[in-house]
């Protein structure tokens, strides 16, 4: 899905497990395009005009300079994969959002999920590659893999999943049918959805006292989500700890 968006020059800017809907183990949809931007002509990046953003899912260049590219989406994709591999764990849980930039600059990474082999984990942390510049170590966006490369890598791993993921008692449990309206209604009734996403996870990047760059204005994409017959991925995590995509 993200490879398709990259081919169409659409930068999502808010990729996270909460914005993935699941219909079946092999049928998912990326949603919430309220922050998405379409790159025009020769544009290679989008410079945002402030606003609240999901800091813990953002690349460092997004936080500091509000610069968004397909490669910053790759960063968010890495965090999203970490959410899947931890069955809905919160990235940087317990760490105040305002401390995230310093944490990233020091080279801190999300820990290796227990179910992941080192092969999978190394793919997940490719987006945190560094290069040396005149002012010290900085995270290098150009060294991150393209979505086409990630799709090929994960497709290869999917042919032999037990070699790359170690899940106790995993026998490809079946997802309950989201077409069952009674099931979906019970799911919504039982869960407290108001606290699913902490308000602190969305902060204004300019709060970090970084001068705003020059940017071009552009209308927002339609933020409406098509949710019929789909279950938000994070709800599945909260209920049954089901990971499949």
Q: What angle do CA 109, 8, 38 make, to 5 degrees?
A: 80
pLDDT value for 137: 47
Residue 24 placed within a domain: yes
Residue-wise pLDDT for 166-213, tens only, equals: 887 665 555 455 455 565 566 555 555 554 555 556 665 544 544 444
Q: Give the structural domain span for 19.
A: 1-40+50-170+234-239
Residue 229 placed within a domain: no
Phi, psi angles (nearest 5°) of residue 79: -65, -40
The residue ranges of the chain whose pLDDT is under 70 are 126-138, 169-245
Out of 14, 42, 140, 142, the active site residue is 14
Our measurement of the distance from residue 69's CA atom to the centroid of its chain's CA atoms, rounded to an integer in Å, reads 14
pLDDT value for 50: 75
Residue 65 placed within a domain: yes
Alpha-carbon distance of 34 to 239, in angstroms, equals 27
Residue 187 placed within a domain: no
| pTM exceeds 0.95 | no
Alpha-carbon distance of 213 to 49, in angstroms, equals 8
Report CA-CA distances (Å) from 180 to 19, 47, 110, 138, 189. 21, 43, 36, 49, 14
141 CB-contact burial (10 Å; exposed 0-12 / middle 13-18 / buried 19+): buried
CATH number at residue 163: 1.10.510.10
- Is position 42 annotated as part of the catalytic site? no
pLDDT value for 150: 92
Residue 151 placed within a domain: yes
Q: Tokens 């764990």 correspond to what residue?
A: 89
pLDDT value for 219: 41
Residue 13 placed within a domain: yes
Residue 130 placed within a domain: yes
Residue 214 placed within a domain: no
Domains: count for the chain: 1
pLDDT value for 176: 52
Q: To the nearest 5 percent, what fractions of the chain are helix, strand and coil?
A: 40, 15, 45
Alpha-carbon distance of 158 to 115, in angstroms, equals 15
């Amino acid at each position: 899905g993200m490879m398709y968006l990259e081919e169409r020059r659409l930068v999502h800017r808010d990729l996270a497990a909460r914005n993935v809907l699941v219909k079946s183990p092999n049928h998912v949809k990326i949603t919430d395009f309220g922050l998405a931007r379409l790159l025009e002509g020769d544009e290679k990046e989008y410079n945002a005009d402030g606003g609240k953003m999901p800091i813990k899912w953002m690349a460092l260049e997004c936080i500091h300079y509000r610069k968004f590219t397909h490669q910053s989406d790759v960063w968010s994709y890495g965090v999203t994969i970490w959410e899947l591999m931890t069955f809905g764990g919160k990235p940087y849980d317990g760490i105040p959002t305002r401390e995230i930039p310093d944490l990233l600059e020091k080279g801190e990474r999300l820990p290796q999920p227990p179910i992941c082999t080192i092969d999978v984990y190394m793919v997940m942390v490719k987006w945190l590659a560094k290069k040396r510049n005149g002012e010290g170590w900085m995270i290098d966006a150009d060294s991150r893999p393209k979505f086409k490369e990630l799709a090929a890598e994960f497709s290869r791993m999917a042919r032999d999943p037990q070699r790359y993921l170690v899940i106790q008692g995993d026998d490809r449990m079946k997802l309950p049918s989201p077409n069952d309206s009674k099931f979906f209604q019970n799911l919504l009734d039982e869960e407290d959805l108001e606290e699913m996403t902490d308000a602190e996870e969305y902060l204004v990047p300019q709060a970090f006292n970084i001068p705003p760059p020059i940017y071009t204005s552009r209308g927002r994409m339609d933020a409406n989500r098509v949710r019929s017959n789909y279950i938000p991925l994070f709800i599945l995590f909260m209920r049954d700890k089901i990971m499949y995509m």
